[in-house]
Structure 1
């Protein structure tokens, strides 16, 4: 089964006031941590969707070496500024060209995610033969990371504006066709306060 992850890294970081993906954490960066988890997990390939101003300088240098470089690629979404839906659709189009059987949507600002979290989602998906997706949840609400079948690819064409994959699968007709699982400490780092609290928690 070819499972491709899409890391959404095309946001403008408006609430942070600066490029949050390059903020330091554990000797690396926020987005670099997400990329590392994806590359070391059981996904087949990783696609990073960026905007025209993001050149993935936050990526760990070792991943540009031959050992890793064939396992991931970068695509630019020129319309990323119009909302997350454009990044999602750009990523899915790239996955269709690579003949993906399933796609996992990841956010580049969730550095607490580990390869074990991602593998857990993959394993649950493989065990849930009749379900079209497996999504993590926070307080009962589904959100990335989300792994979904290629059977849903065409339905993502209906995404508009800043509507992301999490909002998409909350549609009642779709929600009944998937599995939700808990992933501990699932937070997005959007503001300076989020970042300070995350760093403080790691140091405690």
Structure 2
């Protein structure tokens, strides 16, 4: 199944009070680069990274940034690359705007579906992304497949192409969860390890991530 990943990296980091994307991890890479590379190492066909206009993109490793294309560039055989940067000018109006920006960019690929991934969950692995994608492919009658920690569906979540319309109808800070809570849509859940869902919204949450990574070395 040809899926396009949408990595949402245009958040305001308001709860943390500083740019979470560029926080340096123990290996010297930035926090959001871990998530982006998990997506790039997965079986997703293309990756669209949604960013703010003022983002310097310094958090993206040069090996990926140097070969990326941009949403302002038409997709042609010469410019089509696996990583595409989509600049969301309306990110301040809520997550739905970032999601819409990514979906509109993904539609240019004539994709069979999209997978929504949050940039601030650095412990997510490529195999976790693949498991969610495989669940959607295997369950033909499902509109979506979502990861879960036992408390409902959560990102990463993959949607079939016919779900792009409902996703585009979201507004404000509404995320994909509203779609998953709608009983008219059928979904399947994939259980992932708790740490896959750890984000860096606050300093204690960031410390938990860093402590976990340091404990692996």
TM over 0.5: yes
Shift of 1:157: 2.6
Q: What SS is found at the alignment partner of 1:172?
A: coil
The count of aligned residue pairs is 201
Matches within 5 A, 1:145-184: 145-174=156-185, 177-184=186-193
Conservation of the 8 A alpha-carbon contact between 1:137 and 1:143: yes
TM-score by length of 2: 0.88
Conservation of the 8 A alpha-carbon contact between 1:8 and 1:87: yes
Structure 2 CA distance for aligned equivalents of residues 187 and 166 of structure 1: 17
Conservation of the 8 A alpha-carbon contact between 1:134 and 1:180: yes
Work out whether 1:19 is the aligned partner of 2:19.
yes
Which residue does the alignment assign to 2:155? 144
Shift of 1:132: 1.2
Following TM superposition, where does structure 1 have runs of at least 4 consecutive aligned residues deviating by more than 4 angstroms? Answer: none
More strand by share: 1
Q: What SS is found at the alignment partner of 2:156?
A: strand
Structure 2 CA distance for aligned equivalents of residues 119 and 156 of structure 1: 22
More helix by share: 1
Which residue does the alignment assign to 2:72? none
Structure 2 CA distance for aligned equivalents of residues 43 and 110 of structure 1: 17
Structure 1 CA distance for aligned equivalents of residues 144 and 62 of structure 2: 33
Farther off after superposition, 102-111 or 19-28: 19-28
TM-align CA RMSD: 1.4
Structure 2 CA distance for aligned equivalents of residues 12 and 110 of structure 1: 15
* Unaligned stretches of 5+ residues in structure 1: none
Q: What SS is found at the alignment partner of 1:46?
A: strand
TM-score by length of 1: 0.93
Shift of 1:95: 1.0
Conservation of the 8 A alpha-carbon contact between 2:145 and 2:157: yes
Which residue does the alignment assign to 1:5? 5
Q: Deviations over 1:48-96 (max 9, x none)?
A: 0111111321011211344x77210111111100000001111111111
* Unaligned stretches of 5+ residues in structure 2: 70-80
Farther off after superposition, 36-45 or 21-30: 21-30
